[in-house]
Amino acid sequence: MNIKLRLTLMSFFQFFVWGAWLLTIGTYCLNAKGWSFPEFGAIFSTLAIASLFMPALTGIIADKWINAEKLYGILHILYGAILFYVPKVDDPDTLYYVILAAMMCYMPTISLSNAISYTILKNRNYDVIKVFPPIRVFGTIGFIAAMWATNLSGSKANSNQFLIAAVAAIALGIYAFTLPKCPPPRTISKSAGIIEQLGLKAFKLFANYKMALFFIFSMLLGAALQLTNMYGDSFLSNFETKPEYANSFVVERSTIILSISQMSETLFILTIPFFLKRFGIKQVMLFSMLAWVIRFGLFAYGDPSPVGTVLIILSCIVYGMAFDFFNISGSLFVETTTDSSIRSSAQGLFMMMTNGVGAWLGSIISSWVIGKYFILPNGDSDWHGIWLSFAAYALAVAILFAIFFKHKHDPNKLTTVQH
């Protein structure tokens, strides 16, 4: 099999095994199990906790002691084995530790999959910048396919979603052992201690006012990134409690509707070069924040009625701008404003602040706020108020960012790092 096709297959299943349950675990915990929002928030926060340290630790292991493809395969097999245990869990406290263990195995595989692809392509003299993006796009396609599989199989509110992911993950883990070898590099710097390799040297960037502000806003927006992942499917599925909407397409195919968000993501990526050149990094990041306001606001007024369904679909389309514009422009900001000696560490810090600290705070705080202020006397959730509060939060972040974050647009400097 052609090596590019083999790597495409790896990329597809890398995100398939996550997409099968990531957007529907909220429906499983909140709607099917009836657990509280704080209990679910704690469970969902395990993604962020694992992101704080596991990718760096496994990166060191792959750099020093074990082939990357073997470590990748082992982690996926362990991840799948843990997910097989989920159907046996009947309380949120136990599920917290089970999902935490699963995420400690899965989260490092995202960066490992990239490293494996880079190594194999470079060893075969491919132009990585040209060849890798089409391979990576199939990761998003895999995520979408998994969402559809979960929804069409009737698994969005039961534990079968985890079994779908488990079977695919173990198959992917076994498949990984057939990939070309990616041994530890022979040129690892012996002088680089664990502090440097974990990217902690980049923390000195907090001494710079502008960079400190950037990372703080990265954390604040990272909190928003998880909200629709956490609550989107539960919100749409909750309309089944209203007789007029119980059998609507929005309720029965909620996960498929939400997959429009991932489709939009792949399209907005293509527009980023134009927006960056025309408006600059700061404006593009601000567009992202305002897109989150619109995303949440449209959800607040969406429902399974014809007009409400249009609002939900528009919200999913806006998601592409909200997600892509900050992540990619933020990464470019780090690339163009940090010294080359700590650039990789700075990128790691950017991811840590968004996917780690920000995502953890978003999971914990949002679930606590909902549980305390947005549960109606009859026990139902005030989803209209929930989404409006999220929109208000994103708007406040956008206003503060526009006022306090200063960055001069330099098109010439930007084009030197675009690939």
Query: For the residues 286-291, what does the mean pLDDT come to?
Result: 95
User: Cβ contacts of residue 118 below 8 Å, gap of 6+?
Assistant: 128, 132
pLDDT value at 186 more than 60: no
Q: Say if residues 303 and 246 touch (Cβ distance below 8 Å).
A: no
81 pLDDT band (50/70/90 cuts)?
very high
Domain ranges of the chain: 1-182, 201-419
Among 388, 211, 416, smallest CA distance to 301 is for 388
Q: What is the pLDDT of residue 13?
A: 97
pLDDT tens by residue, 129-169: 788 878 888 999 999 999 999 999 999 999 999 999 999 99
336 pLDDT band (50/70/90 cuts)?
confident
More confident call, 285 vs 101? 101
- Which token pair is 304? 């399974």
Q: What is the pLDDT of residue 415?
A: 44
Query: For the residues 366-391, what does the mean pLDDT come to?
Result: 94
Q: What is the mean pLDDT of the chain?
A: 88
Q: What is the pLDDT of residue 136?
A: 85
**CA dihedral for 225, 226, 229, 235, sign (positive or negative):** negative
pLDDT value at 188 more than 50: no
341 pLDDT band (50/70/90 cuts)?
low
Q: What is the pLDDT of residue 103?
A: 96
pLDDT value at 71 more than 80: yes
Q: What is the pLDDT of residue 317?
A: 96
pLDDT tens by residue, 101-111: 999 999 989 88
Percent of the chain having pLDDT more than 70?
A: 91
Architecture of the domain defined by 1-182: Up-down Bundle (1.20)
Encoded amino acid at 73, one letter: G
- Which token pair is 287? 């567009």
Round to whole Å and give the CA distance between 372 and 98. 26
Among 268, 217, 192, smallest CA distance to 403 is for 217
Q: What is the pLDDT of residue 198?
A: 55
Round to whole Å and give the CA distance between 137 and 290. 25
Mutual angle of helices 128-152 and 160-176, in 10-degree steps: 150
Q: What is the pLDDT of residue 343?
A: 65
Q: What is the pLDDT of residue 133?
A: 79
419 pLDDT band (50/70/90 cuts)?
very low
Comparing 1-182 with 201-419, is the CATH topology the same? yes
CATH class of the domain defined by 201-419:
mainly alpha
183 pLDDT band (50/70/90 cuts)?
confident
